Chains A and B, each alone.
Chain A
């Protein structure tokens, strides 16, 4: 809380995703593309295949423009954005992994120098020297993945580091190797997809057919590595994380499932490309790239969201509160910890506790979640945030501060009373009890009379930890009771 909070009208997740997904897409291509270029050049030179060498020159032009410019700068962009969105987590990572990043920088310098020399060296360097530079490029690029992979994997699975604090324990963490193989597979797959885009621009010919099939092979080999290592990766994530995700985080699991379907779609599209090799249209190559981007986006979304409520599992919560300090904040009050204030306590508390993930009306909006309710109810929900579905961090402040957030939110919600039973359930109960999913209590309503249910609502705050008191008016209560009876009837015994 020593940092100001950047109050933007969008969700932080969207801002992060825009830069990060595009960067990882390009940077993985930059690695796989390097391998594709040098291996293919090696084969072409040995066979005296000038047509392929010309193709590689075209590919390396696109490669230089996309990876050197866009890849390098969006990489710096990730630095910029993480410092803006979660400075505390960035601070923790910097202090622990600065030498890891410094090592990665040395590879980055070699990679960029080699890429420039390779690109400009087609006509100037001897074949042997050009190939040497190509291999230097690929090795440096892959080594930079070797390093950054440790830090990225650490954020999901810090492993023994949480006990020892040792750099190497954090670096070679439980998902390190599976993720390294997975990302290497992605690099190879993306290299094939990019090569297809360049090959698709050629007129129909034997050369085009040959090049398309060769590129499809790269895509399929990468895809096979990805498919196998993705299963391995899932297994290396501690069961407590995946178990919790399966229970209460449908969005993360959905992202993982979407991921699998997109892989199948990619395999299918690659197979079609093989069949259409001679006349592969640019549109299909673009579709393949779009599928690759969508797949990668879904994977990164899974990886980022499955570690909720943490930004570094077990160490720092998504809202930037260090786990080790959360209790102290709850006792002393969050306001005492906020160094940059705006004079509106409710707004400041809302920003530092909730805004990293929630907006009022945009992504993960809170307005519709509280429309028609009251300040006491909102305060109770804020106090018990860690018990809600979706894996939320505990509220890092006092009860009085939760009330201030409630006041801030109450001023901004719609005060039209709730008159629909389904909506009343969704707002009052559905934050924890999802019909047919997490913590479904439908069965307990079976056979209960309206009076029984009314009594249950009266005693709601004593039914379990964090349960809020029922504060709806009589008409809302009647509608909710009617809906609860309906649920009881529908519930399977």
Chain B
């Protein structure tokens, strides 16, 4: 009996790529809200503003933001695995314990965020400590992701590292591959966090000023680290410059500046939209860098395509229903307020 082949893509590559980039951007929005928000609330606590009502309100949203980060993170992981599983699983196995550790740490972060949001003690000491613990956990998770996904772009290095130690206790030693990228992402999170806190605290001048400071400062620092990271890509830079991603990045930079302008004008809808599109262009650039780094070792176009259109159509229907139901429930909440 000829058994069915499993080495195929059940949708065209471009469609999977679009879905991956779109859902990863959504994941980053939630993640940035969370990471940036936690950093800012902790910063405010050092300035004796722990009990600020807007920041309190912001802190209470962290558990839900964590839920959104996890939930929105599932889809991009699914789509990226569909094409690049051979690189990603291999890198995850080489760093197996660190990869698996993400789950335990994420559970601890989640509970720490709940504990912190309750603020059940008067002094706030335990809640602050819980929030600090959550930040430490988020740093671990984000750094581990950056490390493993960078390793996945270097099959030769993976083989060498595995030959030295097959027990999954290897941490990617090529820090130059991912530290700048990770830092850029964290500073980007501070930027987006600044946007959200400024938007939520628009009626409180002190909170708006805090959001403004983080939005502006985060953006400048994120731009600098982003530039440094791009320069660090030297061997791939010429190819990146010739790719459409560079145009996307240019648009992204302009939109980021535009977002800043509209944020200062308190037009949060325009600023938010520009920020989102700018994030989308950066995720696209990130994807392009992966493809460039893998050139010569893996070509995603080499997959045979055998679309499962009927199931895909059902997914689209469910996706639309999902959006409608979520919007409906949010409207119920808004109506209650």
Contact = CB atoms under 8 A, between A and B. Distances in A.
Most chain B CB atoms below 10 A, which of A99, A121, A140: A99
A483 interface: no
A267 to B, nearest CB: 33
Q: Chain A interface: which size bin?
A: 35 or more
B223 interface: no
A216 to B, nearest CB: 30
Interface string B298-337: 0000000000101110110011011001100110110111
B70 A73 contact: yes
B109 to A, nearest CB: 9
A27 to B, nearest CB: 14
A113 interface: yes
B70 A76 contact: yes
Contacts, number: 204
Interface string A399-421: 00000000000000000000000
A239 interface: no
Contacts of B182: none
Interface stretch (A100-108, A293-301, A437-445, A465-473): A100-108
A129 B163 contact: no
**Chain A: interface secondary structure?**
helix
B10 A109 contact: no
A315 interface: yes
B199 interface: no
B166 A94 contact: no
A178 B71 CA distance: 29
B314 to A, nearest CB: 6
Contacts of B5: 165, 324
B90 to A, nearest CB: 6
B207 interface: no
Interface residues of B, number: 69
Given A107-B318, A117-B332, A98 B82 contact: yes
Given A112-B67, A342-B163, A106 B3 contact: no
B264 interface: no
Contacts of A250: none
A342 B85 contact: no
A69 interface: yes
B125 interface: no
Contacts of B6: 91-92, 95-96, 322
Given A109-B322, A116-B67, A99 B329 contact: no
B149 to A, nearest CB: 13
A204 B163 CA distance: 63
Contacts of B224: none
Interface in B62-80: 64, 67-68, 70-75, 77-79
A114 B325 CA distance: 9
Contacts of A162: 1, 3-4
Interface in B208-239: none
B3 A70 contact: no
B332 A76 contact: no
A133 B329 CA distance: 7
4 closest A-B pairs by beta carbon, nearest first, are A165-B4, A92-B6, A99-B311, A106-B322
Given A95-B6, A106-B321, A163-B1, 12 more contacts: A6-B167, A80-B92, A83-B92, A91-B6, A98-B11, A103-B315, A105-B78, A108-B74, A110-B322, A112-B68, A117-B329, A324-B5
7 contacts: A3-B93, A72-B67, A84-B89, A91-B89, A92-B6, A102-B78, A167-B308
